[in-house]
Structure 1
Amino acid sequence: MTIQLYSTCPQSKDVPAGRYRAAVTDVARWSEEAGCTGMLVYTDNGLVDPWPVAQTVIEATTSLAPLVAVQPVYMHPYTVATQVSSLAYLHGRAVHLNMLAGGFRNDLLALGDATEHDRRYERTTEYTHIVMDLLRGATVTRAGEHYTVDRLRLDPPLPPELLPELLMSGSSPAGLAAALEVGATPVRYPEPPGETGTRPDGVDRFGIRIGIIARPRSADAWEAAHARFPADRAGRITHRVAMSVSDSHWHRQLSGRDAGGGPADPYWLGPFQHYKTFCPYLVGDYDEVAAVLARYLEQGARTVVLDIPESPAELKHIGTVADLARESLTP
């Protein structure tokens, strides 16, 4: 069984400017050494542009693919296609794309974009079709509701073997429909392992977004987890404020749950509900966490987008869990 693992790049807002390039380089190299396919590079109004970060990732590694988050409000689809083809031309490397429809609601409003949730996914669908048609070498003429292009071609062309893999949030019905229409892997924020809502309807394979903290002993894993993500009242308040202005389907879904977590419950929402990160965590000993991950694999998860790794040792622990999960499903 093949599982694609993506790590996540450090955010510029969390690292001083003088150290940020080194932080990106370090995590990219750790991720490649751990066998990751790529590394997600975030985008929003409060972060450095993801494309120079993607180039930094490429220059620091030999095969790791930057998974660049693409927000349609920020740039024309032709610009995205030229970024991908230019990096391929300069470095002979692939860039994968995480196609966004939303983001922080106030970020979109600051840019004058008040488009409602489902319409944003319609826009992203149009946008992605133009990007991918250009990257496949087509001359694109399209008169859509959101974008119009006329006999548009990409130069330099992209070598076919470097065509990006596409990921897109599939947590809402609109997001899932958009992902399926453009051929993207729909990514979910998984439900607890005993529930059945993680696998999207009508989909054989999908992705999940999770963090993992695992150790040989469960008590050590939970000690590390609470040290990294201590509960605090300010974080809980910030989360509630963010929730009050969000129209994100997955944000509301996770916010309505109990945080869970503990020796008998590897599924933990504590970091998410205290505004420390944006995904559930699996915490416990190797066997406990591998058993939960195996449940998601049984449902069809083949892409796992991990949270920002704290150290190369953390990625080694995660690799152990992934190997155990795969082995448990091998006939």
Structure 2
Amino acid sequence: MTRLTFHWFLPTNGGDGRQVVGGGHGVQATDAARGATVGYLGQVARSAEQLGFEAALTPTGAWCEDAWVSTAMLAPVTERLKFLVAFRPGLTSPFLAAQMAGTYQNLSGGRLLLNVVTGGESREQRMFGDFLDKEQRYARCDEFLSIVTALWRGETVTYRGEHLQVEDAVLTQRPDPRPEIYFGGSSEAAGRVAARHADVYLTWGEPPEQVREKVEWVRKLAADAGREGQVRFGIRLHTIARDTSEAAWAEADRLLAGISDEAIERVQAGLKQSESVGQARMLELNRGTKDSLEIHPNLWAGVGLVRGGAGTAMVGSYAEIADLIEQYAAVGIDEFVLSGYPHLEESYWFGEGVLPELARRGLWSHPAPVAGTASVPFGASRAAH
């Protein structure tokens, strides 16, 4: 089995706290106890780096801070951590986006990954001045990525598509290395774009058998597009890891108790307006009720009651969560993009509990291990006297 990779999350979507911070997919973020400041986000980023996470996902949309600017401000307070920057193609010209990515990559020392988010909510897109419908947005995204990746390869690009045009475009400062493209989506249009352009296809945390179906779906599409074996697979989940299963489920119960019926009704009404197929699948898992939320052993759908997008969490002891991760790995998942409430503390529960368990199983190793300190032979000295 291949070595697994783990990423964390930067809560620029209104901040962080000891309750579920809702929002996303056209729903405004709820108030959080900890603001999304450079100081606090820097704490989260440095902790993720120290614990062995590879990168930190930073969201995009009207409900959060801008991901490019936020992560550029955090790069100087970290050393190794990469930033998985979510951005929406079409809101920026392809040449400018290619140039921005090149600048970011070269000035950060190769620490940029790109999460391409086409945009699932027409009403939110219109806030940004984008009036295309969903199918048109995916068609434009395909054109966008074709131009950007050609520029990154050093080609001189003249392109006249249905949505985008460039003429004699050449990128002077190419990114080194080329940023990898992470891409998600459950619609047929999303699958076609992922098959053509994604380095990593991301899915939200559905039960393993449903994830297997999506992996096989994208693998076939990629093979049909001439990219067999060129797409890796990742999953976006929350996590509640504790020393014991009882302690983990007690924490899930505490989070659930902090979610009011009124909040569920309001947020669910907003999320049901989403055009995202993936969001509809998340809503099917929680059904808008606090009942029967363990949808697979140690997989809990409570977060999705009030949060758009990723709505499930792995809940359990370190060994139980490691077991669930192995189930996902068995169906083709190589990368895990995780988060938890609060993000600072939960990074330590997972990083100091689950990651060592996975290391013992030979499934993970720290990307930048710290050398052990040399022992001082005080014991031998005492024995001689």
Give the AA of the match of 1:167: Y
Q: Is contact 1:263–1:284 with CA below 8 Å preserved after alignment?
A: no
Equivalent in the alignment of 1:287: 319
Q: 2-side partners of 1:270 and 1:44: how far apart?
A: 23
Equivalent in the alignment of 2:368: none
Does 2:263 correspond to 1:235? Answer: yes
What's the offset of the Cα at 1:137?
A: 1.8
Matches within 5 A, 1:71-110: 71-110=88-127
Q: Is contact 2:240–2:315 with CA below 8 Å preserved after alignment?
A: yes
Q: 2-side partners of 1:17 and 1:281: how far apart?
A: 21
Q: 2-side partners of 1:258 and 1:17: how far apart?
A: 27
Equivalent in the alignment of 2:250: 223
Give the AA of the match of 2:241: A
Give the AA of the match of 1:8: F
Q: 2-side partners of 1:12 and 1:202: how far apart?
A: 29
Q: CA RMSD in A?
A: 2.6
Q: 2-side partners of 1:83 and 1:106: how far apart?
A: 27
Q: 1:223 to 1:321 in 2, by over 3 A?
A: farther
Q: 1-side partners of 2:213 and 2:316: how far apart?
A: 22
Q: 1:324 to 1:189 in 2, by over 3 A?
A: farther
What's the offset of the Cα at 1:242?
A: 2.0
Equivalent in the alignment of 1:313: 348
Q: 1-side partners of 2:296 and 2:283: how far apart?
A: 21
What's the offset of the Cα at 1:8?
A: 1.0
Matches within 5 A, 1:17-166: 20-159=37-176, 162-166=177-181
Comparing 103-112 with 35-44, which one deviates more in the overlay?
103-112
Equivalent in the alignment of 1:207: 234
What's the offset of the Cα at 1:188?
A: 0.9
Equivalent in the alignment of 2:203: 188
Unaligned runs of 5+ in 2: 17-32, 220-228, 365-385
Residues 34-56 of structure 1, C-alpha deviations (whole Å, 9 max, x = no match):
21221111111232221121212
Equivalent in the alignment of 2:11: 10
Q: 1-side partners of 2:295 and 2:170: how far apart?
A: 56
What's the offset of the Cα at 1:194?
A: 4.9
Q: 1-side partners of 2:86 and 2:295: how far apart?
A: 35
Equivalent in the alignment of 1:302: 334
Residues 79-131 of structure 1, C-alpha deviations (whole Å, 9 max, x = no match):
22121221234332331100111144421133343433233222111111222
Q: 2-side partners of 1:276 and 1:325: how far apart?
A: 33
Comparing 308-317 with 264-273, which one deviates more in the overlay?
308-317
Q: Is contact 1:209–1:279 with CA below 8 Å preserved after alignment?
A: no
Of 209, 234, 245, which residue of structure 1 is paired with 2:273?
245
Q: 2-side partners of 1:279 and 1:264: how far apart?
A: 14
Question: How many residues are matched?
Answer: 326
Q: 1-side partners of 2:172 and 2:295: how far apart?
A: 56
For normalisation by structure 1, the TM-score amounts to 0.88
Residue 74 of structure 2 aligns to a residue whose secondary structure is helix
Give the AA of the match of 1:33: Q
Equivalent in the alignment of 1:269: 301
Q: Is contact 1:283–1:289 with CA below 8 Å preserved after alignment?
A: yes
- State the identity as a percent: 24
Residue 256 of structure 1 aligns to a residue whose secondary structure is helix
Residue 69 of structure 1 aligns to a residue whose secondary structure is strand
Q: 1:269 to 1:18 in 2, by over 3 A?
A: closer
Q: Is contact 2:241–2:315 with CA below 8 Å preserved after alignment?
A: yes
Does 2:186 correspond to 1:171? Answer: yes
Q: Is contact 1:6–1:39 with CA below 8 Å preserved after alignment?
A: yes
Q: 2-side partners of 1:87 and 1:323: how far apart?
A: 32
Q: Is contact 2:239–2:350 with CA below 8 Å preserved after alignment?
A: no
Residues 132-179 of structure 1, C-alpha deviations (whole Å, 9 max, x = no match):
2222222111111111001101132323xx210110004222212211
Q: 1:78 to 1:238 in 2, by over 3 A?
A: farther
Q: Is contact 2:194–2:218 with CA below 8 Å preserved after alignment?
A: no
Give the AA of the match of 1:10: P
Residue 279 of structure 1 aligns to a residue whose secondary structure is coil
Equivalent in the alignment of 1:254: 282
What's the offset of the Cα at 1:202?
A: 4.9
Q: Is contact 1:106–1:245 with CA below 8 Å preserved after alignment?
A: no
Q: 1-side partners of 2:144 and 2:178: how far apart?
A: 16
Equivalent in the alignment of 2:381: none
Comparing 201-210 with 133-142, which one deviates more in the overlay?
201-210
Q: 1:324 to 1:104 in 2, by over 3 A?
A: farther
Q: 2-side partners of 1:39 and 1:130: how far apart?
A: 26
Q: 2-side partners of 1:263 and 1:175: how far apart?
A: 25
Q: 1:35 to 1:235 in 2, by over 3 A?
A: same
